[in-house]
Amino acid sequence: MQRPIGVIVLAGAAGLAGLVQLYRMLIYLGIVRFDFIGQPVSFNEAQWGAALWSLLMAAIWFWVAAGFWGLRVYALRFGIFISLFTLIWGFFALLFGSTYEAETIPWLLAGFIYLYLSYPGVQRPFVENEMSKLTPEQRAALEQLAAANAAVDATRAPGM
C-alpha cells in the first residue's frame, strides 16, 4: 500500500501525542519530574485520576495513529473528534489549575492534526483504501444506494 506523505506525518503526530500523554502520566505518578526555569515540577504523591486519564488518552492516540497508518476511515473521523476533545479539555484544564507549559505541546499536536484533517483532499486516500476492501456485492449495494439518493434528490418536496 502506497501511503501519502501526509498520512505518515499524521500517524507520527498522533503517535507523538500518545507519547506526550504517557510522559504526563509518569509526571502525575511522581516517577518523572522536570525543571521549568530552574524550578522543579513534580508531585510528592501519585495523582491517580489524572494519571489514569492520561493513560486513556495515550491509548486512544496510539489507536488513532495505527488507524492513520493503515488508512482506515475510522481513524479519520475519530482523529477529528479526539483532537477537538484534546483542545477543549486542555482549555478547561487551564481554567481549573493547569499551566500553559503543561498544555502547550498537546494543544499544538491536536491543533495540527485537526487542521490537517480538515484540509480538503486529505480524506480521499482513506476513502479509496476503504473502497478497495469492498466485495463486489457491497460495491453494487453502494451504487444502488447512490442511485436511490440521486432519485430522491431529483424529486422536489411538496411545497418547495
Residue by residue, pLDDT tens for the chain (160 residues) are 678 888 999 999 999 999 999 998 998 898 887 776 766 767 788 889 989 999 999 999 999 999 999 999 999 999 999 999 999 988 888 888 777 777 788 899 999 999 999 988 888 888 888 888 999 999 999 999 999 999 888 887 776 6
3-state secondary structure of 4: coil
Query: Where do the structural domains in the chain lie, given as residue ranges?
Result: 5-124
Query: What's the CA gap between 108 and 57, in Å, rounded?
Result: 16
Cell of residue 31, nine digits? 516517577
The pLDDT value given to residue 72: 92
16-48 b/e with 16+ CB inside 10 Å = b? bbbebbbebbebbbeeeeeeeeeeeeeeeeeee
Cell of residue 127, nine digits? 476513502
Query: What's the CA gap between 41 and 30, in Å, rounded?
Result: 10
Query: What's the CA gap between 55 and 50, in Å, rounded?
Result: 9
For helices 5-28 and 73-95, what crossing angle results, to 10°? 40
For helices 5-28 and 48-69, what crossing angle results, to 10°? 170
CA 73 to chain centre: 12
pTM above 0.95, yes or no: no
User: Is the dihedral angle over the CA atoms 64, 113, 47, 23 positive or is it negative?
Assistant: positive
The pLDDT value given to residue 1: 64
